[in-house]
Structure formats: C-alpha cells, structure tokens
C-alpha cells in the first residue's frame, strides 16, 4: 500500500476542531449554554462560601459586629463640637461634658428655648438692640425637657440631627408658646468627641448619665420626654425599663437588632443565605433557624419587642415610622404595636394612625423615609401634639398623686393624734 493511501489518526486538537465543525447549530448552542451555566454555578458557589465566611467571622468576633452596629468610626461632620454655632445652631446652646461609667466622658449639647428671649432674636437686624443674655441651663418645675437619643454613625452635629433639634424647638414653641423647653442631645461613648467604645450595656449607662444630668439641672420625670431615632429607639427602650418619663417616642424603631439585620438593605448577606436555603428546607424552617442563629450570636441584641409591653403599661408610647423607610421597614413598627384596636386614615393621604391593644400608638407617614422622617408635616404635628398632651397629663397625674399623698399624711396624723 502506498504511503499516500494510508489513514493515520489526526492530532487531538484537529480531531476536536473537526468534531466542532460537524456539530449542528442547536448542539453548539447547547454546549455553550452548559459552559456558561457551569461557570456561573462555580462563581455563585464561591460567592456563597465567601458570604458564609463573612457571617461566621462576624458572629465569632463581637468587636467586628459592633463596628457595623454602631458605625461610630464614621464621625461626620468634622469640626469643633464644643462650638455648636458652627453647625447652624443659635448661640443659646450650651456645650457640656458628662462623666459616664468606665471612665468615659460624653459630649453633649443642652439647647434651651426661652420665650422671653424671642423679642431679642427677632431684633437681630436692629443695630441698636442689645445682645440677648443666653438662658440658664437650670430647669424650672414647669419647663418641658426632651432627651434625644440618636442613631448610628455620625455625631450630634450631623445635619439631619441639627435640623431635628431646630424642628423640635419650633413645633414645641408653636404648640406651647409660653413654656420654656430644653433639649439634651449627646453622643454615646465612641461617637463624636465622647471617649470610650460602645456596647449595649455601656451605651445604656450613657443614656442613664444623660438623664441624671437633666435631673441634676432640675428636670422632673413627669415633665420629661424621651425620644429615640433608629438605633436610639433601642437605647431609649432599654433606658425606660428602669426609669420613668411623661412619654416615650420612638422614631423609625426596630423590633430587635437581629431582626433588623436580616432585612438591612446595605448588608444583604443574611437575606441571600436565607433565600438560598429556603428551597432546600420545609417552608419557613430556614428563616426561623437563621433568625434563631443570628439572635443567639448577636453581641448587642437591643430587643425592643421584649421590653416595650411593660413600658407601655407605665407610660404612653408613640411610634412614628415612614412607610417608605428602606433601612428599617415599617413592618417593625406594626410588630411593636401588635394587635390593633383601631386604624384611622389621615386626610390628604399623608398616612394613618394605628392604636394597638397594648396602648402603643403608631403614626405611619405615607411618604416618610428613614432620615427625612421628621421633615414631614404629619410627623411634626403628631410629635408636637403628643408631647404637649403627654406632659400635661403626666403633670396632672403627678399633682393628683401629690394631693392624695398630702391628704393621706394629714389623715394619718389626725388619726395618730
């Protein structure tokens, strides 16, 4: 047989190329699709392993958890926090330092609204007007006092918080124009110019320190309103477990921090893991197990749901939450209200008012978000009306109780003699 007629085998690469050339169009498309799917599955598996590793590390190291919970390392804005006027506030703000536990010192602003100073404020353009005298931080028995507990990240000078102080002063002055009011805004340890590192127990002690400062200036519990926003709602709820006030107001609260973490849009790791595990387990099992695991591993749970019912039995509780809140969904507020006793829509489509059988009242602001909640008129009106009414009722109860105590003492003395 001549060499030209022999049939020697083709090289491997030429054989594969020959096979590809003989593949039909559908076969070629199917091969490409399988290759793409396989690559995607490998990347998804790698991503899941990375996500599981991140979660495992966070659960093992409480310090890392707290870095994400408090975000106190985001200290914004910069500047001298001892000079509140730098951040747009009037000169009637006193910068104070508070000594807390474990050697921590807290930076705070004591804002005072004095109606007798209003003429001086309005004459700011009058060149002949005398400079107003800054009002004293001493709190009179009839003054209204607000303790404000802010959320995570930033400090007491963050723009949205300064706007809230100004809004709060304005609505209180409008609702009760003859009453002096005080607002204490402070930074938890590790925030702003406060020293130390935050954790649930220490931050709760910081809130107690702030409340004690107000009491030292003359604040009375039945004239004091505690307001918390976001993370501050957890702090204020823990504070009110063992203290009393005219009312507790929660702005954009969560049921507990583990519950909030499972829905937090900027850290979707837990939601992704739950979604992947859901098809592999009976309905609801993956979600319940993940919730239990996160709750058990949470360094600082801030469980408002567990403590709010007892608080609501001792004082009125108001929740204001935005229906458009993407950071902490309004479902958390409804869970805190629990079973409803009534629901009423607000005219103009601004929102609705829900009352729970536990006595907790919810104002749901239809177009409110997380950080802009207090910019909405419905939130401002509800906050002003609720605060003034709660303080008046608490004052009336206190007066009645004082009268009853005096009467009882007189009767006891009479019987004893």
Domain extent listing, the chain: 36-70+264-300, 74-119+136-263+301-400
Instruction: Read off the tokens for 14.
Output: 């030429």
What does the pLDDT read at residue 264?
75
CA distance 30 to 33: 5
Contacts 24+ apart (CB under 8 A), 136-140: 136/112, 137/94, 137/96, 137/110, 137/112, 137/182, 137/217, 138/217, 138/218, 139/182, 139/214, 139/217, 139/218, 139/219, 140/180, 140/218
Phi, psi (rounded to 5 degrees) for 408: -65, -40
What does the pLDDT read at residue 403?
85
What does the pLDDT read at residue 313?
96
- Report the mean per-residue pLDDT for the chain: 86
- Per residue in 159-210, pLDDT tens? 999 999 999 998 888 888 889 999 999 999 999 999 999 999 999 999 999 9
Beta-carbon count within 10 A of 174 CB: 12
* pLDDT above 80: residue 59: no
* pLDDT above 90: residue 270: no
Query: Percent of the chain having pLDDT more than 70?
Result: 80
What does the pLDDT read at residue 219?
98
> 146: part of which helix (H) or strand (E)?
strand 144-149
* pLDDT above 90: residue 117: no
Q: Which of 186, 169, 94 is nearest to 135 (CA)?
A: 94
| Banded model confidence at residue 36, pLDDT cuts 50, 70, 90 | confident
CA distance 214 to 147: 8
* pLDDT above 60: residue 11: no
Mean pLDDT of 55-61: 67
Q: Which of 270, 391, 299, 409 is nearest to 70 (CA)?
A: 299
Q: Which of 76-90, 97-111, 190-204 has the lowest mean pLDDT?
A: 76-90
Beta-carbon count within 10 A of 286 CB: 18
Architecture of domain 74-119+136-263+301-400: 3-Layer(aba) Sandwich (3.40)
Beta carbons of 179 and 153 less than 8 angstroms apart: no
What does the pLDDT read at residue 125?
73
* pLDDT above 50: residue 2: no
CA atoms within 13 A on the CB side of 259: 19
Find where tokens 């997380």 sit: 370
| Banded model confidence at residue 295, pLDDT cuts 50, 70, 90 | confident
Beta carbons of 236 and 315 less than 8 angstroms apart: no
Helix (H, G, I), strand (E, B) or coil at 98: strand
What does the pLDDT read at residue 16?
47
How much is the pTM? 0.84
What does the pLDDT read at residue 42?
72
- Nearby residues of 333 by Cβ (< 8 Å), 6 or more positions away: 250, 252, 253, 319, 321, 362, 364
Residue 87 or 412, more confident: 87
What does the pLDDT read at residue 43?
74
What does the pLDDT read at residue 12?
47
| Banded model confidence at residue 18, pLDDT cuts 50, 70, 90 | low
Sheet holding 247-251, edge to edge: 93-99, 105-113, 181-186, 144-149, 224-229, 247-251, 317-322, 361-365, 351-356, 340-346
What does the pLDDT read at residue 56?
64
- Nearby residues of 323 by Cβ (< 8 Å), 6 or more positions away: 330, 351, 364, 365, 366, 367, 368
CA distance 360 to 133: 41
* pLDDT above 50: residue 1: no
What does the pLDDT read at residue 134?
74
Beta carbons of 184 and 94 less than 8 angstroms apart: no
Instruction: Read off the tokens for 224.
Output: 């004091």
> 165: part of which helix (H) or strand (E)?
helix 159-175
Helices 285-297 and 269-277, packing angle to 10 deg: 150
Residues 217, 316, 325, 298: what is their CA dihedral angle, to the nearest 10 degrees?
80
The bridge status of strand 247-251 relative to strand 224-229 is parallel
Q: Which of 66-75, 180-189, 213-222 has the lowest mean pLDDT?
A: 66-75
* pLDDT above 70: residue 13: no
């Amino acid at each position: 047989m001549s060499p030209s007629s022999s049939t020697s085998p083709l090289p491997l690469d030429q054989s594969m190329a020959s096979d590809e050339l003989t593949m039909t169009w559908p076969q070629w498309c199917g091969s490409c699709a399988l290759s793409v799917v396989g690559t995607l599955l490998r990347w998804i598996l790698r991503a899941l392993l990375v996500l599981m590793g991140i979660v495992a590390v966070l659960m093992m190291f409480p310090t890392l958890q707290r870095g994400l919970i408090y975000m106190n390392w985001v200290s914004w804005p910069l500047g001298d926090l001892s000079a509140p006027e730098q951040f747009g506030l009037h000169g009637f703000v006193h910068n104070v330092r508070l000594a807390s536990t474990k050697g921590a010192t807290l930076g705070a602003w004591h804002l005072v609204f004095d109606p007798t100073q209003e003429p001086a404020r309005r004459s700011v353009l009058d060149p002949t007007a005398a400079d107003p005298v800054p009002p004293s931080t001493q709190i009179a028995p009839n003054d209204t006092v607000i303790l404000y507990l802010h959320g995570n990240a930033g400090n007491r000078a963050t723009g949205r918080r300064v706007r809230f102080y100004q809004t709060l002063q304005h609505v209180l002055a409008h609702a009760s124009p003859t009453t002096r009011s005080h607002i204490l805004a402070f930074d938890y340890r590790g925030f702003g110019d406060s020293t130390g590192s935050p954790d649930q127990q220490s931050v709760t002690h910081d809130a107690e320190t702030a409340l004690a400062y107000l009491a030292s200036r003359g604040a009375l519990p039945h004239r004091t309103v505690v307001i918390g926003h976001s993370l501050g709602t957890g702090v204020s709820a823990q504070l009110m477990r063992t203290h009393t006030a005219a009312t507790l107001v929660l702005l954009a609260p969560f049921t507990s921090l583990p519950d909030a973490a499972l829905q937090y849009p900027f850290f979707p790791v837990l939601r992704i893991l739950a979604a992947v595990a859901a098809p592999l387990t009976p309905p609801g099992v993956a979600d319940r197990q993940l919730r239990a695991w996160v709750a058990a591993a949470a360094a600082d749970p801030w469980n408002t749901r567990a403590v709010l019912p007892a608080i609501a039995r001792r004082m009125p509780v108001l929740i204001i939450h935005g229906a458009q809140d993407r950071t902490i969904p309004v479902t958390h507020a409804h869970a805190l209200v629990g079973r409803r006793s009534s629901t009423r829509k607000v005219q103009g489509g601004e929102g609705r008012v829900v009352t729970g059988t536990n006595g907790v009242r919810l104002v749901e602001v239809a177009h409110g978000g997380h950080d802009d909640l207090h910019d909405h008129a419905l939130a401002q009106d509800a906050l002003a009306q609720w605060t003034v009414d709660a303080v008046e009722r608490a004052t009336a109860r206190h007066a009645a109780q004082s009268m009853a105590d005096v009467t009882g003492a007189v009767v006891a003395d009479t019987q004893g003699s």
